[in-house]
Amino acid sequence: MAAAGHRLRTALTGGPMSVRGFRLLLAGQLSSTVGDYCYAVALPWLILSGDGGPVLLGTVLACYGIPRVVTIPLGGVVADRIGGRRVMLMTDLVRAAAVGTLAVLASAGTPTLGQLAPIAVVLGACSGMFIPASYTLLPALLRKEDLGRGNALSTMVNQVGGLLGPTAGGALVAAFDAGPALTVDAASFLVSALVLSRIRSGADAPEADGPEAAGETPVHKVSFPELLRHGRLLHVVLVVALVCNLAFNGTIEVALPELAHQGMGATGYGILLTCLSLGGLAGSLVAARSRPVESPAYLFAALAVVMGIALGAVPYAGGLPGAAVCVCVYALASGWQNIVAVTMLQVWAPSALIGRVMSLVMLAVMGTFPVSVAVAGFGVRHLGAAPFFPVAGGAIALTVLGALTQRVFREHRADTEYAPPVPAPAGAPDAAGPGPGVPAARSTHAGQDNSQESQR
């Protein structure tokens, strides 16, 4: 018991948790996530309780979803220009006002499309701006060696909020109708904004504190077009994200409910979704407790193989109990893998370009959703649900294993940052330097300066 207590105290006071700004960030995330799920319960209930029905609900969700995707690239650019914390703070304040307005409208009856659509557009646009900005804050708060645990703890807080929020939202809607649940969501954005206003990070430091101001040799500033041309690691990750999410989304959103509908019932489907959430939480916990690996690509690939096998076995594992275990194993490996990928990119990308890099990755993740579910809907209708699982699992595993054939991915090290290609001296053989488009590795071992450390 004493040893367990010591480990708990160490986890709560050491590493990322020793940083006050990180602790504040977790508190704001928990508040905001619980509020988001209250909104997720209240909005459909509000609309479906009136005369609009599913058509109005679908229209309002489209008004939210389209601006969210469109503004993700803009969010990355603005976050890199003015700092991710400022973007998050401003979008939280705007969302608090928008949801507060919706709560007032809900108290007077069911809002019309003319009232709901503009609010949904504002919320979607703010969400799109917020997403890439949120990935820039941890690198500005934490040391690079703490980023893996920090990402894992941050993800765990969001997942805990995802478990608590729907229950709280459902209870509020059942007891008081949609208005109070929406008010809670608006208040959660205000709490998040207050927390963000109290966080200070390296991103807020003036540019004069950099190496040039100190009289050091100026560091070459990498432009985003240059990174897009020469950042082979980013190319590989984008392809993996596109293929894996194309395979995953349709399988989980279409094939899984159809499989459950055929023989497991609504209760069984609910159990599978719960296992998906609990597995993701377990994956974040494992990532938080695991030591950083020197070669993240091999861990990434091993987790992809586990994901592929577990997902492919879902229809053939012996009914609901076996399917629940497979879904849980898949979610655990996927949650761990996501943290590995995010941390790898946060360390690799130049600090001034993290927002734009993550906006591209988020576009790859979210942009495949409409295509994936449409293809799955057509395929499930003609082939049945079961074949989709081994196909999707095989696609995920083979795509990541294929990524290992790329040297820039296979030989990537956890402490490697992007550096521009080094041109070979005149007359030197081609083998003297990196190949075309392959960035030179720049290590960030202790004692070496880098842009993030110099800002703190």
pLDDT of residue 201: 62
Residues forming a β-bridge with 218: none
Determine the average pLDDT of the residues in 334-350: 89
d(CA 38, CA 154): 20
d(CA 288, CA 152): 5
Is pLDDT at 441 greater than 70 in this prediction?
no
- State residue 162 phi and psi, 5-degree precision: -70, -25
- The count of other CB atoms within 10 Å of the CB of residue 55 is 10
Task: Record the tokens describing residue 59, joined without a space.
Answer: 């229209």
- State residue 406 phi and psi, 5-degree precision: -90, 120
pLDDT confidence band for 216 (50 / 70 / 90): very low
d(CA 60, CA 44): 10
User: Picking from 3-12, 54-63, 327-336, which range would have the lowest pLDDT averaged per residue?
Assistant: 3-12
Determine the average pLDDT of the residues in 329-349: 90
Instruction: Calculate ∠ Cα 10-13-17, nearest 5°.
Output: 120
Amino acid (one-letter) located at 57: L
Element (H or E) spanning 416, and its range? strand 416-417
Element (H or E) spanning 70, and its range? helix 53-82
pLDDT confidence band for 184 (50 / 70 / 90): very high
Q: What is the three-class DSSP state of 288?
A: helix
Task: Record the tokens describing residue 61, joined without a space.
Answer: 């969700």
pLDDT confidence band for 254 (50 / 70 / 90): confident
pLDDT of residue 9: 54
Of the candidates 117, 97, 93, the one whose C-alpha atom is nearest the C-alpha of residue 43 is: 117
pLDDT confidence band for 383 (50 / 70 / 90): confident
pLDDT tens digit sequence for 402-418: 999 988 888 888 888 88
d(CA 379, CA 129): 34
d(CA 394, CA 389): 8
pLDDT tens digit sequence for 227-239: 888 888 899 989 9
Of the candidates 77, 66, 67, 63, the one whose C-alpha atom is nearest the C-alpha of residue 359 is: 77
Determine the average pLDDT of the residues in 207-223: 51
- Are 35 and 187 in contact by the 8 Å Cβ rule? The answer is yes
pLDDT confidence band for 10 (50 / 70 / 90): low
d(CA 363, CA 357): 10
Provide the b/e sequence for 422-447 (b: ≥16 CB within 10 Å).
Answer: eeeeeeeeeeeebeeebbebeebeee
Instruction: Calculate ∠ Cα 342-16-281, nearest 5°.
Output: 55
All residues at 6 or more sequence positions from 155 whose CB lies less than 8 Å from its CB, including other chains? 280, 284, 287, 335, 338, 339
d(CA 295, CA 290): 14
pLDDT of residue 449: 33
Residues forming a β-bridge with 442: 417
Mean pLDDT of the chain: 81
d(CA 328, CA 280): 8
All residues at 6 or more sequence positions from 177 whose CB lies less than 8 Å from its CB, including other chains? 106
Would you give the DSSP letter of residue 144? G
* Percentage of residues of the chain with pLDDT beyond 70: 84
pLDDT tens digit sequence for 104-128: 998 888 788 899 999 999 999 999 9
pLDDT tens digit sequence for 24-42: 999 988 888 888 888 888 8
